Amino acid sequence: MVEDDPRIAEPLREGLTRAGYDVVVVATGAGALAADPTDLVLLDLGLPDLDGQVVCRELRSRGSVPIIVISARGEEIDRVMLLELGADDYLVKPFGFRELVARIRAVARRTATEMSPPSAPNISVGALTIDGRTRRVAYRGDPVSLTPKEYELLVYLAADPGAVKGREQLMRDVWDENWWGSTKTLDVHIASLRKKLEPELIETVRAVGFRFVATPEPTP
């Protein structure tokens, strides 16, 4: 919930918590953009630091999280604007708590089918095999233990062997973050993957990014 007015945020948080939701409240647009990913966003448009519409567009550009916009009475908001913002629904203050819960349920239901991920495919490139369902990784027949992010990074690279993946692209797609300069996290994970698998498997493409190089299957 992005809401700067504690007189609104507090009772809503209490009510939603009672209704079984796990609620995190932030009071600013900057706070909303810095928050961990959530299953749904309630976004007040009138925020002290950033324009709520900017926050909405930015959240939408990062992913498919359902967004319910909350606007004050008198603010111009219609379906067209809502679509432009990328929001899924809106409520005008003052609104009833039951109405809010009904909207949350409806939006969650509507987006659930769209959001359910396709079943993860298996990947087999050279000596590397990845079981998408069990998330088990083996290299030259030996199991490899990876952290969740290492796993996602490896799957992303190995799914398209030979293709160069840019640093910004990797940060955006694997870390789900917009790139603001440092990609140290990425380097750390690449280094770790090279150590756990084989250094030659992930090639550095200078000034661009990385590419997965398929190593030949071991000859029996």
- Are 140 and 201 within 8 A, CB to CB? no
Question: Is residue 31 part of the contact set for Ca ion (CB under 5 A)?
Answer: no
Question: Is residue 25 part of the contact set for Ca ion (CB under 5 A)?
Answer: no
- Are 56 and 85 within 8 A, CB to CB? yes
Question: Is residue 44 part of the contact set for Ca ion (CB under 5 A)?
Answer: yes
Residue in the shown chain whose Cβ atom is closest to Ca ion: 46
Q: Residue 151 is encoded by which pair of tokens?
A: 């796993």
Interface with Ca ion (CB under 5 A), residue from 4, 88, 150, 152: 4
Shortest distance, CB of residue 57 to Ca ion, whole angstroms?
18
Long-range contacts for 163-167 (Cβ within 8 Å, ≥24 apart)?
163/211, 163/212, 164/205, 164/208, 164/209, 164/210, 164/211, 165/209, 165/210, 165/211, 166/208, 166/209, 167/208, 167/209, 167/210
Shortest distance, CB of residue 142 to Ca ion, whole angstroms?
56
Interface with Ca ion (CB under 5 A), residue from 15, 46, 161, 166: 46
Nearer to Ca ion among residue 4 and residue 152 (C-beta): 4
User: Which of these segments, 3-11, 85-93, 129-137, 204-212, binds Ca ion (CB under 5 A)?
Assistant: 3-11
**Which residues in this chain contact Ca ion in the complex, by CB under 5 A?**
4, 44, 46
